[in-house]
Homo-oligomer: A and B are copies of this chain.
Amino acid sequence: MNDKFWISEQPLNIQEVVDLVTRREAGAINTFIGTVREFTKGKRTLYLEYQSYVPMAEKKLAQIGEEINEKWPDAETAIAHRIGRLDITDIAVVIAVSTPHRADSYDASRYAIERIKEIVPIWKKEHWENGEEWIGDQKEQKAYPTGHPEEEDLT
């Protein structure tokens, strides 16, 4: 576990992530919380299972923090991602970015979630009433790697 970027098998605590970026220089903290949604394109999810290549994932989360600091030098970022079995409404990811002014906190937080979906080795398996499937390639909104990809919503 990195100090501000980590993968956890335990439920995530929003306040804990926010505390890591709270500071006297910041007037704004944007937080993105990804939760498990019940319905995706009318299909009912029972629960999700997240798997990760943990040491690499934590490095990649930290890299996202560095990328943010290149783009927004005044930003401070913390990211926690949960793995294992998650039920509907459980929190999968918490991103917190603090900046002196609010516009940057929104932009940097948005950047973080997009990058997570691109480079961080974490995989989600959806469990439905009639089956299960590892989801991938979310940026292209299709399930992977079925023969004919099924449209999947972005979280």
Contacts and interface: CB of A to CB of B under 8 A. Distances in A.
Contact of A27 (B22, B98, B101, B155): B155
Interface of A: 14-15, 18, 22-39, 88-89, 98, 100-103, 105-106, 109-110, 113, 153-155
- The oligomer's copy count stands at 2
26 contacts: A14-B18, A14-B31, A15-B15, A22-B89, A23-B89, A25-B37, A25-B38, A26-B37, A27-B37, A28-B32, A29-B32, A29-B35, A30-B30, A30-B32, A31-B31, A31-B32, A31-B33, A32-B102, A32-B105, A32-B106, A37-B100, A101-B154, A102-B113, A102-B155, A106-B106, A106-B110
Given A106-B109, A155-B101, A35 B22 contact: yes
A23 B37 CA distance: 8
A98 B38 CA distance: 14
